Amino acid sequence: MALLLNVSLSPNQITLRTPFSLPRAHTHFSLHCCYLAPHAQKKKNHLEASPPSLLFYSLGESISRATFLALLSASLFLVDPALAFKGGGPYGSEVTRGQDLTGKDFSGKSLIQQDFKTSILRQANFKGAKLLGASFFDADLTGADLSDADLRGADFSLANVTKAKLINANLEGALATGNTSFRGTDITGADFTDVPLRDDQREYLCKVADGVNPTTGNPTRETLLCN
């Protein structure tokens, strides 16, 4: 909606009024002064002599400039939330946290400290991938292939790793706290050295443990502290 202003000038004040009725505080404001130096008096006289169109142009220019600067300043603080979810490794250019990555092929990739928190990774292929320090916190890895993967220091807390493949995987120092489940997972040759497991999970894994890890040379049952 266009806004028309009625500008009146007097020796001691500049007054702007709208042509329609609004509260007085919004329709009238003044700029008072008590003394003008000679050079300032010339500028004031020049202002009084300026045509109304010039006054409107100057006022509009000031408003436009202020609006532009405000929008520019606000834009500097707008950051794509997805940027905060990028992990390390070559695949870090894409977002892998909180995503549906069902069936995705990550085989042989370097995914050190990659962030897969809360992602759906059903039937994903991580065969031979380097996943040191990667986070699978609360992720769904049902049926995922993690065979021959380097999972040292990876976080599987609250993750669903059921019916997955951990054949010959190295999980030294990985985390598996909370309600992590390995039910139905093939752990032949996997190394679970220093992996904290719930008693029920350790007991279950000991029943199916077999093989020796080809990288560390450690028997799977020994790394699980099976009796």
Please check whether residue 181 is in contact with residue 202, taking contact to mean a CB–CB distance below 8 angstroms. Answer: no
- Whether the CA torsion 210, 144, 91, 138 is positive or negative: it is negative
| Ranges of each domain in the chain | 6-75, 86-227
Which pTM does this prediction carry?
Answer: 0.61
CATH 3.30.360.10 fits 86-227, yes or no: no
- What is the residue-level pLDDT of the chain in tens, covering all 227 positions? 444 444 444 444 444 444 444 444 443 433 333 444 444 454 445 445 445 444 444 444 554 555 544 444 444 333 333 333 344 444 545 689 999 999 999 999 999 999 999 999 999 999 999 999 999 999 999 999 999 999 999 999 999 999 999 999 999 999 998 899 999 999 999 999 999 999 999 999 999 999 999 999 999 999 999 98
Helical (H) or strand (E) element with 15:
strand 13-17
Helical H segments across the chain, by residue range? 24-27, 38-49, 52-75, 199-208, 220-223
